[in-house]
Structure 1
Amino acid sequence: MTAPASTDVLTSNGYRLDSSPRRLGRLEPVRDSERHDRAALRHRLARDGYLFLPGFLDRAEILEFRRHYFAALEGTGVTEPGSDPRLGRAARGGLDRARMRRVLFGDIVPGAEYEALCRHPRIAGFYRWLLDTEEVHLHRRKLIRHIVPGESGVGTATQAHYDLVYLREGTDKVLSSWIPLGDCPIERGPLIYLEGSHHRVLAEEAAGTLRRPAASITADLPALAEEYDARWLVTGFRAGDMMVHGAHIVHASLDNVDPEGLVRLSTDIRYQSATEVIDPRWQNHWDTNDGL
């Protein structure tokens, strides 16, 4: 697991995180002894709100999809012309945003390669096993994002939120997978989690006392950690790792300040038991204009 070597300079949307031990901690991976213990994983998920599964997917397969993604976007100005698409080295300007959107939403998102990744037998089989159900449902609205290094300010990194606010018309038992599509050390801006926040969110949901039912809670992660009296949990990821989290835990992402100039690429997909209520709004391919 990658160590947070420079935790004194972690930022999200330009806000500098408190690096003291009372406000910053480490995501804990699932132990090998628990990997095939369904009861242990369910207990961990209820206790921690997440499962960190290093090496869950084949690294070579993930890197091949990274190559496919950036090769498809060649010529849009996302990556450096002539560079290896597996690297995803950011270009230094000249982004053709309209062309990028046409390729992303017209080719990549509805494409067979992305669908095969999201329906990978390893992922679907894991959710059937974990949820103890014969049939699982993958929400068709699946998000894939690339974050170039050097951007800062509100809106560049994922703001603090929990997933249920986006999925009100379905079950609260939906589970999300966050999958880094390539190595994602801490400086490349991975997802981070607010420790134990799902317990407070669950209580407030049950009591109907949530003060901020909006999709995004805040971009000010240091202030939110103070409000919750909790730590932001961080780690570096490698291609093949997978995070699983429930619908109530608060999470966000760090800024991409990668010194190598590499783009962070990741996907968010959501599975649930097919017997639970399915949010009908999430059954179309993702588009930034879909209102969700």
Structure 2
Amino acid sequence: MSIGQLQETPSGVLASNGYRLDDGAHRLGRLLPVPDAERHDRDALRGRLTRDGYLYLPGFFERAMIEDFRRYYFATLAESGLTLPGTDPIDGLAASASGLDRARFRSLLFQQIVPGREYEALCRNPALVAFYQWLLGSDEVHLHRRKIIRHVGPGESGIGTATQAHYDLVYLREGTDRVLSSWIPLGDCPVVRGPLIYLEGSHHRVLADEAEGRLRRPAASMTANLPALAEEYDSRWLVTDFAAGDLMVHSPFIIHASLDNQDPDGAFRLSTDIRYQTASEPIDARWQNHWHDQDGL
């Protein structure tokens, strides 16, 4: 990697779905955090969203709160054989996939964790709700009930493992285009663990293409081949090492994806993505049920 100070992967390269990213300065860059001087300047943050398509807010949440949820998540799923027996759940160390009781895992995830009060409390954290009320300029904000929580195991690779390149609006067309996504790493998530990455400036082209009707197609990811997409857009993939407590907010038009998890210690990447909007604008009714991986969305 050529942009320095990021946690090195064992192979020395970044990859997504098995595709190796070009690490040249013209194709790889760093996500820029919101400066402290702008954290409480609403006009500045709105301007950044328009210009950059994202807000990177390190240390937004209390680290302990995020770590508590990470521990709860892996402790709950431990009986399915997901994690190494005898290890601290907060570490999220992956056991062999061959020992996973998939039926029990799915029951615990979709019947207990996803609809549970712990996850709901995380997503409705008072600081997060207050932030969106302030940023959107409305006391009445709406959290979409379909909230997605994902873990990705170390060493998993190949098409369909990492999140493929997409922008969120293609999945939310029946509501407002002023919806904002939050991506929250649930635990430390350096590049070696496969965090979300963003295609720099891509929202400007997507907005133009949307206006011209060139992108109106069935909801689908764009591609798993991130290097080729960067070439097509003549742009850079922006990456960083995330820490527990960080928050990403992004436009529904910016293209993003995730890296492969190459963690040498065998830890899962755990994260959630949720969406807020003003309650007075059109709401996509399809997103008002709890998330399930067979829900067709």
Per the alignment, residue 4 of structure 1 pairs with: 6
1:61 corresponds to = 65
Q: 1:284 aligns with which of 284, 289, 295?
A: 289
The 5 Å alignment of 1:51-90 reads 51-90=55-94
Structure 2 partner of 1:39: 43
Q: Select 2:257's aligned residue among 249, 252, 261.
A: 252
Please tell me whether the aligned partners of residues 24 and 232 of structure 1 are also in contact (alpha carbons under 8 angstroms): yes
Match for residue 135 of structure 1? 140
Contact 1:171/1:277 (<8 A) preserved: yes
* Cα distance per residue 1:22-58 (max 9 Å; x no partner): 0000000000000000000000010000000000000
The separation in 2 between residues aligned to 1:210 and 1:287, in whole angstroms, is 26
Amino acid in structure 1 at the alignment position of 2:109: L
AA aligned opposite 1:250: I
The CA deviation at 1:211 is 7.4
TM-score calculated relative to the size of structure 1: 0.98
For residues 46 and 212 of structure 1, the distance between their equivalents in structure 2, rounded to whole angstroms, comes to 24
In structure 2, runs of 5+ residues without a counterpart are none
In the aligned structure 2, how far is the partner of 1:103 from the partner of 1:285? 14
TM-score, length basis structure 2: 0.96
Aligned pair count? 291
Q: Which amino acid in 2 is paired with 1:24?
A: L
Aligned residue for 1:173, secondary structure, equals coil
Over the matched positions of the two proteins, sequence identity in percent amounts to 72
Q: Which residue of 1 aligns with 2:180?
A: 175
SS of the residue corresponding to residue 70 of structure 2 reads: helix
Confirm or deny: 8 A CA contact 1:3 1:235 kept in the other structure.
no
The answer to whether the aligner puts 1:108 opposite 2:113 as a matched pair is yes
Q: Distance in 2 between matches of 1:246 and 1:215?
A: 17
Unaligned 5+ runs, structure 1:
none
Please report how far the alpha carbon of residue 187 of structure 1 lies from its aligned counterpart in structure 2 after TM superposition: 0.3
**8 Å Cα contact 1:3-1:236 kept in structure 2:** no
RMSD: 1.2
Contact kept, 8 Å, 2:210 with 2:216, in 1: the verdict is no
What amino acid does structure 1 have at the position aligned with 2:169? Answer: L
Q: C-alpha distance in 2, partners of 1:230/1:212?
A: 23
Would you say the 8 A contact 1:180–1:239 is kept in 2? Answer: yes
CA distance in 2, matches of 1:276, 1:243: 22
Whether 1:230 aligns to 2:235 is: yes
Q: In 1, Cα distance between the equivalents of 2:7 and 2:136?
A: 37
Distance 2:234 2:13 in 1: 20
Preserved CA contact (<8 Å) 2:7 2:192:
no
